[in-house]
Amino acid sequence: MAGTSQSALRYYDKIGLFSPAARGANNYRYYTPLQLITLKFIIVLADLGIPLTKIKELNSHRTPINIIKLLLWQESRLDREMHRLRTAYSIIHKYRDNIQNGLFANEEDICVEVADDSNECRVIFGPENDFRGSVGFYAPFIRFCESAKRNRINLNYPVGGYHRSVKAFLNAPGQPDRFISLDPMGDAKIPDGRYLVGYVRGYYGEFGDLPQRMASYAEKHNLELKGAVYVTYLLDEVTMTKPDMYLAKVAVGLSRQSMASENI
């Protein structure tokens, strides 16, 4: 028989969805040509992902209207499922991107990068953090996670940090003003412009001498650090086994009149 397997037919028989018209003396299942038509109906709906119980329900009251209702119901299920898959796809893409950038990054180097349409990075901002009385960033981070849940933000995207100003970053590099989710569907984006970029390996929120190195680099090359600072982890707990091997990328905004990048 075309379209389905023996075991499927036995299963349909067992659950009472579709039974043979007759059993032979040898106990074989015999189906009539007309039953093949019913079977086609079942296979089509089952292939659309409609549960067999729904198909069985339909069997007793099968009208065009009820079919349309069932199809609409399945459409909305498919909508949700496709949204889930697209989200998973986009998270995977983001991680692959980060990992590849992390593997190719020269950790010692500090350099100028330009953000524009070609490498647009979208984000979602969390609420403003409050570090009063907290050691490390765990308490505000947990608050961020809770607010994310309320706002239906997917926490599986990598998380980064945002500092309102260079001064704030140099002051307390481990205490961002806000956490950000690197969701490509986010409504905000890291603004176009030029950034001074450095990398650092180590635990979350620990930046070693990178802030100073970046500041002195800027001074030496006559660059004016200005605007916001974005910290993203290219290699994080998903990628690396040891927390001291995480790799952060720090991007510090540069003013427009800073020396052009080709001079560096």
Instruction: Catalog residues that contact a second copy under the rule CB under 8 A.
Output: 2-3, 34, 37-38, 40-41, 43-45, 47-49, 62, 64-65, 67-68, 71-72, 74-75, 78, 81-82, 85-86, 88-89, 91-93, 95-96, 99-100, 102-103, 142, 145, 155-156, 235, 237-241, 243
Torsion of CA 243, 246, 252, 258, to 10 degrees: 140
| Contact assessment for residue 30 and residue 24, using Cβ atoms and an 8 Å cutoff | yes
What does 81 interact with, of a second copy, DNA, none (CB < 5 to 8 A by kind)? a second copy
Angle at 192 between CA 248 and CA 152, to 5 degrees: 65
Which of a second copy, DNA, none does residue 28 bind (CB under 5 to 8 Å by kind)?
DNA
Q: For tokens 């140099």, what's the residue?
A: 170
* Minimum CB distance to a second copy smaller for 30 or for 89: 89
Q: Which is nearer to a second copy, 75 or 219 (CB)?
A: 75
Which residues, including other chains, have CB under 8 Å from residue 80's CB and lie 6 or more apart?
Answer: none
Which of DNA, a second copy, none does 88 bind, CB closer than 5 to 8 A by kind?
a second copy
The residue type at 40: K
**Which lies closer to DNA via its Cβ, residue 84 or residue 167?**
84
In whole angstroms, the minimum distance from the beta carbon of 45 to a second copy comes to 7
Tokens encoding 109: 């180097």
Give the interface with DNA as residue ranges (CB under 7 A).
5-8, 10-12, 25-29, 46, 51-53
Partner whose binding site includes residue 135, from a second copy, DNA, none (CB under 5 to 8 Å by kind): none
Task: Give the DSSP per-residue string, 66-120.
Answer: HHHHHHHHHHHHHHHHHHHHHHHHHHHHHHHHHHHHHHH--TT-EEEEEESGGG-
How many beta carbons lie within 10 A of that of residue 189, not counting itself?
13
Lookup result for tokens 């991680």: 95
CB of 3 to a second copy, least distance (A): 8
Contacts of 95 (CB under 8 A, 6+ apart): 158, 238, 239
Quickly tell me which residue has 């893409």 as its tokens: 93
Contact 32, 39 (CB under 8 A): no
Nearer to DNA, 46 or 168 (CB): 46
Residue 26 interacts with, from DNA, a second copy, none (CB under 5-8 Å by kind): DNA
Least CB distance to a second copy at residue 62 (A): 5
Partner touching 3 among DNA, a second copy, none, CB below 5 to 8 Å by kind: a second copy
* Shortest distance in whole angstroms from residue 68 CB to a second copy: 6
From the CB of 77, what's the least distance to a second copy, in Å?
A: 10
